[in-house]
Amino acid sequence: MSASPSAAEVTDLRRERSKHSLRETVTSSLHLYLNQMSDHEPEGLYKLFIEEVERPLLELVMQYCKGNQTKAAKYLGINRGTLRKKLKMYGLN
């Protein structure tokens, strides 16, 4: 008889599955974007990608945390000062 997975193991499995799904979504979107740009060589792709992903990430986490910057910074794994700087940069303060 095999033991049931612990709650921590289930959480880890869900996190891995979610991370894999996010990676697949990003990869698929990048392939689509690059294929659409086949006539042009994209410039500044890294900056464009970061800006396109970071702003909605910050917006959603701030909504989820009901505007609590300390909680949002903890969710994001960044310090509160960095979060405040990024919110200001995107006009989300």
Helix (H) or strand (E) holding 73: helix 69-76
Q: What is the pLDDT of residue 76?
A: 98
Q: How is residue 86 written in tokens?
A: 């990024």
Q: How is residue 70 written in tokens?
A: 């300390």
Instruction: Read off the pLDDT of each residue in 45-66 and give the average, rounded to a whole number.
Output: 95
Res 13 pLDDT > 80 = no
Lowest mean pLDDT among 14-18, 41-45, 61-65: 14-18
Residue 71 buriedness (CB in 10 A; 0-12 / 13-18 / 19+): middle
Name 79's Cβ contacts closer than 8 Å, sequence gap at least 6. Answer: 73
What class does CATH assign to 45-93?
A: mainly alpha
Q: What is the pLDDT of residue 10?
A: 54
